[in-house]
Amino acid sequence: MATHYGYTGKSLAFLQKNNLQVGDLVNVTTDSSYNGIIMPRYEYSDDEHIVLKLKNGYNIGLEINKIKKITVESSFTMKREVIPQPHSDPNLPKLLLISTGGTIASRIDYRTGAVTPALTAAELNAAVPELAKIANIDTEVLFSEYSENLLPEHWKKIAEKVNSYVKSEYRGIIVAHGTDTMQYTAAALSFALAGIPIAVALVGSQRSSDRPSSDAAINLISAAKFLVQSNATGIYVIMHNSVSDDEVACHWGTRVRKNHTSKRNAFQTVGESPAYIIRCELIEKNSQFEITKREYLPRINFDTHVALVKYYPGLDPKIVDYLVDSKYKAIIFEGTGLGHIGKVMYESVARAKKKGVFMGMTSQCIDGMIRMTVYESGRDLLNLGILPLANMIPETALVKAMWALGNSKNYEGMEKLMKEKIALEFSD
């Protein structure tokens, strides 16, 4: 079947009429003569051009109505490279890599420019051969989605899959994940699988594996070392700790936030140093992160009738009224400073409380504790029924509220869970 990635309208019709597809090597005559490979196009590009990759490596766009002649020199046939299975070393521990669509290791087809994920054990070993010296790694594709498309229902599937392997022979589990919503998934797993007796590492890359500056391989290697060499348990996010390759940070799943759009060290632990720092063979533990041992009783349910409302001057209180009328059962406010929202919101907040809606307060400030007793406005909000959530990250508070609501029978049960420290989500 012919492939025409990104081509629509006139350009698609042109390719189909001439029996052409992405990957074909063609000779094109316009006012000049060109020899190159037909390349994919962006989905929303215009339909007036085709793109060729020339022998010198540069891409050019050719306007189809100026093409006088086009002939195929060789047709592209999709061939899957035969990669030998990695040698299994019985002396090494076993790890499992679950892929959700975040491509931490991939292979580039320089003929077409396509980047394909390396998902089998053989492909993974070929892409990152260092892994074979650390562990025997099995792989499983759970789903393939950009992380911005992941929903709480995906969190549940990941948690259920991880839980199914808790008593297996695997020393630890790597979850390959896109970076955009990794902190949400990490928090969701931290609550749903609280007390898990093994370590689970969410790993992604800020830059794809075909780029010289990619962080994919080092993040993956560091995660494998961490799972094999440490005695850690719990949920972690493992990403670069600096712009260079000398340090990788291991962040606790409820205290991490993506703070930069593109830097390799975009992820940071809020309010503290990372749980671990990985430097080559050295794994340095942060003594402040002591996990209280608890019985492992997975509670893998989420209720999405929760909203995160960021307060700002001019926010219409009708937004809160809308949420109440839409049967939302919990609202997390991202308030100012020590935990405030303007008095214009008070009437709607009082109505929400009367309707039995749980309300929690976090801060827009990156770091620091909620202190709603300091100022009169904060005390007013306490009196109206808003619960201060210490130094919980707003996104973490949102996820915890979805989890608490999904695992509670009533308001009181949810409030009790929100007050309880489950997975280091707030400081004492």
Residues designated catalytic: 103, 179-180, 258
Max alpha carbon distance in the chain (Å)?
78
For the chain, the residue count is 428
Backbone angles phi, psi at 222, to 5 degrees: -65, -40
Bridge partner residues of 94 (DSSP): 136
Residue 55 gets the label, from left (phi > 0), alpha (psi -120 to 50) or beta, of alpha
Counting Cβ atoms within 10 Å, is residue 38 exposed (0-12), middle (13-18) or buried (19+)? Answer: buried
- Give the separation between CA 405 and CA 427, rounded to whole angstroms: 22
Kindly report the three-state secondary structure assignment for every residue of the chain.
CCCCCCCCHHHHHHHHHCCCCCCCEEEEECCCEEEEEECCCCCCCCCCEEEEEECCCCEEEEEHHHCCEEEEEECCCCCCCCCCCCCCCCCCCEEEEEECCCCCCEEEECCCCEEEECCCHHHHHHHCHHHHHCCEEEEEECCCCCHHHCCHHHHHHHHHHHHHCCCCCCCEEEEECCCCCHHHHHHHHHHHCCCCCCEEEEECCCCCCCCCCCCHHHHHHHHHHHHHHCCCCEEEEEEECCCCCCCEEEEECCCEEECCCCCCCCEEECCCCCCEEEECCEEEECCCCCCCCCCCCCCCCCCCCEEEEECCCCCCCHHHHHHHHCCCCEEEEEEECCCECCHHHHHHHHHHHHCCCEEEEEECCCCCCCCCCCCHHHHHHHHCCCEECCCCCHHHHHHHHHHHHHCCCCHHHHHHHHHCCCCCCCCC
Distance from first CA to last CA of the chain, Å, rounded? Answer: 61
